[in-house]
Structures are given as structure tokens and as C-alpha cells.
């Protein structure tokens, strides 16, 4: 279905549709025009041929003796005196017919073998018939007197003919031409068009698709590159388009926009880094001074309680500022990881011991599950921070007398470290968001557990900086399992 959402396909479809309509329209017009031109030409030549035969044989036809009845009929028709007949010339009829024969044969425009030529006398008796009229004669009764008429008839064999007829005082003249040949030419044109139209369409569609493909390919490249550009690699630019066309301008505008974004991001990062840095020193000083004050003897119970609470908040604030600094540095690429060989099973065992102290206050048991010796390449301090973060969360969000289990195993392509708890769990809708900065799940069971919402964002960054992943599987009120997958090298 993606295909139908592409401009390339839409362009090709529209192009094909318009081209098909144009080709069919053009073919039909060409066909109809040719047909009408051919039949007009045929009619014109038939008219002139019948006219010619008429003019040519009229003087000779006078010599053909007309029967008495025919003469009377003619007289009635013309309402005038009958033409003179010279009954003394007994042979005149034969002489005239021979002359007609010869003239028709000699005339270059007439071909009695292809054309049907038939001459009847006024009585309808045959005077001349071309050899092509081998079978039967041409029958047409409504013959105009003195003018020419062109009609369509069928001969006795059933062939379609275009017929020009006329009659004068002496004879009826028929000149016809079979339409088969004309139809054959038209059929030829029609089958050529029927074959060539789809062929032209296929070639044009392939060409059109290729054209759309090549001209829109840079758009695909722009989309793919733009998709890869995130806040972390705003220094990347789209490959410059060589030509100053629509795509060239689009690329340039896009690159300008990324440039402005990069500048804004850099400003925000500088501001956050400066702000965190400026906060760090006074916080440390305040923490130190409160610790000194708390050590003083003779403090009133209320004052001591207040100072302790302020101290706890300061510790929390310092940890938030530290986490922020870590994230800002990681984003700006200023946080350099020191990669070494790290034995994960040893690290996990140490972390479980450290966590034991933390967990014992809530009577939570920290256990080791499957612990296999796995080595990965990584920054030991950061990996430790990542796992400690997960274990601290597990203890934080597990009610007293719960259980936290740490395990490290081989997995396809690397190591898998998981931290499982029997805690409050995370609702499904929040599971993808908990790795975002400052995101904390709002649920009653969390109670007043304090936190900044930055721990898992840092954990995710550390996992990804090692080309690994972090994932969670959780069920509310049953517990959660965080799994970190790290590649072997």
C-alpha cells in the first residue's frame, strides 16, 4: 500500500491515464478522418468516372437503335420530341458498342477489371458490362435523370459496393467500386493502431516511470538523510544538490533549517551546562556547611530535624544537577567513555553486595540469579552506574519484604544483564515513556518515593553508548524486569 502513497506512482498513473486518453483520442480521430477522406475521394472519383463515361459515350450511344417503346417512354419523360433514329443504319448498334468497349479499355483512369462498369440501354438491356462483373448485373432502379447519384449496394455475390449511377436519353451508366479494398485498408489501419497504441503506451509508461523515479530519487535521499538527523547529530547536512532547481532549493532550505536548529540546540546546551555548573558549587558549599552545623553539639531537636531535612533535599538537588550535567555532556559529545574489558559477573556480584546494605532497611532481599562469566568491552564506571541505577530503582519501587534478583548471562551476540523485582510494577502505557527525561509514573503505590526522573534516561544513554539496548517487562503489582543487552565487543 506504500506504493500508492508515493508521488512517483501517482505521477505515473496520471501520466498513463492522460496518455492513454490522448492516444485513443488521436487514434480514433486519425481513423475516422482517414475513413471519411478515403470514402470522399472514392465518391468523387466514382462521380467523375461516371460523368466521363456519360460524356464520352453519349455521341456513340445515339447510334444505338432504340426500340419504339423506349422512345415513347423517353418522350414522356422529357415531354419533348423523341431523338432521331436512323433505322437505315442496321449495323450502327454493334459499331457503337464496340467503340464503347474500346474507349473504356483505353481510358487510363478506368479499369474495367477492378471497377464494375455496366451500361444498359433505356429498356434495361445490357450494352456493356466490364469483365469484373462476371456474375450477375448491378441492380439499382432509382436512377436520376441527367445527374449523378452515389449509393451503397450489394451485388449478387453479396459484396458491398459503392455505386455511382446516371442516365441520359439513351443509356443508364453504372460505375461501382468494391468496398472490400477500402475496408481492408481501414482494417489495416485499425489493427495497426490497436497494436501500436498499447505498445506506445507501455514504452511511454516505462519511460515516464523511469523519469519520475530519477527526478524524485533525490527526494528519497533527502528523506532518508533527514530521518537520521537527530538532536545528537545536528552537525550532519543533506548532500548538496548540484543543480539550482526545486530540489536544490529544498536541500539548501533544509540545510539552513538544520543549521539554525543546531545553533539553538547549542545555545540551550551551553545555557543548561553553565546553569548546572553554577549550581554545583553553591550546593556543595551548602551541603558542607550543613554537615558541619549538624555535627555541632547542643542543637535543638527541631533545628536538627530541619537541618537534616534541608541536607536530604540538598543531596537530592546535587544528584539532579549531577545527572543533568551527565546528560548534557553526553548530548554534546563531551562525555568520553573509556573502553576496557569488563567482567560483568564480578561487577554484578559487587553491586548486589552494595545493594544489600540499601535494601536491608526495607527488609528486601537482594539475590543473585544465574551468573555466568561474560566479558564485554565497556566503560566500567558507566556500566556500574547503569546497573546500580536499576538496582536502586528496584529497591525503591519494591515494598518491604520483597525480593530483587540480579543475573548476568550469555545472549546471542553478547551479554544480558537483568534486574528483576517483586515491586509495584509499571502500567503498560508508561513503559515506553519511563526512559524519557523527567518522566515519573504517577501512581498511588509509588507513594512519596522521591526521584528526579533522570535515572533511566542516563541508563538508556549508557546502554546505547555501548551499542546496547535497555528494555523493561513489567506487570503492575507483580514486579518488573529491566534487561540490558550489551554486544560482546
Residues of this chain that bind ligand ADP (CB under 6 A): 393-394, 397, 421, 423-426, 434, 439-441, 446, 451-457, 480
In SS3 terms, 17-31 reads as HHHHHHHHHHHHHHH
Please state, in angstroms and as integers, the Cα–Cα distance from residue 233 to each residue in 228, 263, 278, following that order.
8, 12, 27
Beta carbon of residue 225, minimum distance to ligand ADP (angstroms, whole number):
32
Beta carbon of residue 283, minimum distance to ligand ADP (angstroms, whole number):
18
Beta carbon of residue 473, minimum distance to ligand ADP (angstroms, whole number):
11
Are 438 and 348 a contacting pair, CB within 8 Å? Answer: no
Nearest residue to 177 via CA among 294, 298, 87, 42: 42
Beta carbon of residue 363, minimum distance to ligand ADP (angstroms, whole number):
17
Instruction: Quote the DSSP letter at residue 245.
Output: S
Q: Which is nearer to ligand ADP, 155 or 405 (CB)?
A: 405
Beta carbon of residue 348, minimum distance to ligand ADP (angstroms, whole number):
16
Which residue of the chain is nearest ligand ADP when measured via CB?
451
In the numeric block, the cell 546502554 is attached to 463
The residues, ordered by sequence, that sit 6+ positions from 333 with a Cβ below 8 Å of its Cβ are: 232
Q: Is 234 helix (H, G, I), strand (E, B) or coil?
A: coil
Q: Which three cell numbers stand for residue 205?
A: 509508461
Are 328 and 270 a contacting pair, CB within 8 Å? Answer: no
Q: Which is nearer to ligand ADP, 327 or 457 (CB)?
A: 457
Beta carbon of residue 238, minimum distance to ligand ADP (angstroms, whole number):
35
Q: H or E stretch including 172?
A: strand 171-178
Q: Which is nearer to ligand ADP, 178 or 425 (CB)?
A: 425
Are 248 and 256 a contacting pair, CB within 8 Å? Answer: no
Are 464 and 443 a contacting pair, CB within 8 Å? Answer: no
Beta carbon of residue 401, minimum distance to ligand ADP (angstroms, whole number):
16
Beta carbon of residue 445, minimum distance to ligand ADP (angstroms, whole number):
9
Please state, in angstroms and as integers, the Cα–Cα distance from residue 166 to each residue in 40, 58, 118, following that order.
18, 12, 11
Q: Which is nearer to ligand ADP, 138 or 359 (CB)?
A: 359
Q: Which long-range contacts (C-beta less than 8 Å, at least 24 apart) are formed by 14-22?
A: 15/204, 15/205, 15/208, 15/212, 16/201, 16/204, 16/205, 16/208, 19/201, 19/204, 19/205, 19/208, 20/201
Q: Which is nearer to ligand ADP, 49 or 421 (CB)?
A: 421
Q: Which is nearer to ligand ADP, 248 or 451 (CB)?
A: 451
Q: Which is nearer to ligand ADP, 169 or 421 (CB)?
A: 421
Q: Which is nearer to ligand ADP, 144 or 447 (CB)?
A: 447
Helices 246-295 and 179-228, interaxial angle, to 10°?
A: 20
Beta carbon of residue 480, minimum distance to ligand ADP (angstroms, whole number):
4
152 strand-pairing partners: 162
Q: Which is nearer to ligand ADP, 165 or 325 (CB)?
A: 325
Q: Which is nearer to ligand ADP, 82 or 453 (CB)?
A: 453
Beta carbon of residue 269, minimum distance to ligand ADP (angstroms, whole number):
21
Amino acid at each position: 500500500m506504500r506504493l500508492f502513497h508515493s508521488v512517483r506512482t501517482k505521477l505515473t498513473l496520471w501520466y498513463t491515464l492522460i496518455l492513454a486518453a490522448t492516444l485513443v483520442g488521436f487514434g480514433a480521430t486519425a481513423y475516422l478522418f482517414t475513413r471519411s477522406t478515403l470514402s470522399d475521394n472514392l465518391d468523387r472519383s466514382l462521380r467523375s468516372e461516371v460523368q466521363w463515361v456519360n460524356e464520352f459515350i453519349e455521341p456513340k450511344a445515339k447510334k444505338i437503335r432504340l426500340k419504339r417503346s423506349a422512345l415513347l417512354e423517353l418522350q414522356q419523360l422529357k415531354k419533348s420530341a423523341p431523338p432521331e433514329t436512323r433505322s437505315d443504319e442496321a449495323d450502327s448498334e454493334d459499331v457503337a458498342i464496340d467503340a464503347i468497349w474500346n474507349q473504356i479499355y483505353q481510358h487510363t483512369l478506368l479499369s474495367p477489371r477492378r471497377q464494375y462498369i455496366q451500361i444498359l440501354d433505356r429498356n434495361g438491356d445490357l450494352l456493356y458490362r466490364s469483365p469484373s462483373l462476371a456474375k450477375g448485373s448491378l441492380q439499382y432502379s432509382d436512377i436520376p435523370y441527367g445527374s449523378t447519384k452515389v449509393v451503397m449496394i450489394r451485388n449478387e455475390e453479396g459484396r458491398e459496393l459503392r455505386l455511382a449511377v446516371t442516365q441520359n436519353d439513351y443509356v443508364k451508366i453504372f460505375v461501382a467500386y468494391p468496398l472490400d479494398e477500402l475496408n481492408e485498408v481501414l482494417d489495416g489501419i485499425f489493427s495497426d493502431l490497436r497494436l501500436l497504441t498499447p505498445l506506445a503506451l507501455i514504452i511511454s509508461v516505462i519511460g515516464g516511470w523511469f523519469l519520475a523515479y530519477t527526478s524524485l530519487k533525490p527526494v528519497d535521499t533527502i528523506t532518508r538523510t533527514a530521518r537520521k538527523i537527530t538532536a545528537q547529530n545536528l552537525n550532519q547536512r543533506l548532500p548538496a544538490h548540484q543543480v539550482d532547481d526545486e530540489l536544490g532549493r529544498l536541500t539548501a532550505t533544509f540545510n539552513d533549517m538544520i543549521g539554525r536548529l543546531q545553533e539553538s540546540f547549542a545555545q540551550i546546551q551551553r545555557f543548561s551546562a553553565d546553569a548546572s555548573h553554577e549550581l554545583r558549587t553553591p550546593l556543595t558549599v551548602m551541603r558542607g556547611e550543613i554537615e558541619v552545623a549538624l555535627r555541632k553539639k547542643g542543637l535543638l531537636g527541631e533545628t536538627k530535624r530541619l537541618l537534616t531535612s534541608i541536607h536530604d533535599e540538598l543531596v537530592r538537588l546535587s544528584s539532579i544537577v549531577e545527572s543533568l550535567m551527565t546528560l548534557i555532556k553526553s548530548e554534546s559529545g563531551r562525555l568520553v567513555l573509556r573502553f576496557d574489558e569488563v567482567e560483568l559477573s564480578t561487577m554484578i556480584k559487587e553491586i548486589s553486595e552494595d545493594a544489600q546494605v540499601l535494601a536491608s532497611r526495607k527488609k528486601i532481599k537482594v539475590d543473585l540469579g544465574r551468573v555466568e562469566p561474560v566479558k564485554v568491552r565497556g566503560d566500567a564506571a558507566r556500566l556500574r552506574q547503569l546497573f546500580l541505577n536499576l538496582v536502586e530503582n528496584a529497591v525503591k519501587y519494591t515494598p518491604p519484604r520483597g525480593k530483587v534478583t540480579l543475573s548476568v548471562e550469555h545472549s546471542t551476540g553478547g551479554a544480558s544483564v537483568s534486574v528483576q523485582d517483586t515491586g509495584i510494577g509499571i502500567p503498560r502505557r508508561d513503559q515506553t515513556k519511563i526512559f524519557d527525561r523527567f518522566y515519573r509514573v504517577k501512581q498511588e503505590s509509588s507513594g512519596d518515593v522521591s526521584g528526579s526522573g533522570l535515572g533511566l534516561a542516563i541508563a538508556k544513554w549508557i546502554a546505547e553508548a555501548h551499542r546496547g539496548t535497555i528494555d523493561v517487562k513489567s506487570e503492575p503489582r507483580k514486579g518488573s524486569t529491566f534487561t540490558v543487552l550489551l554486544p560482546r565487543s
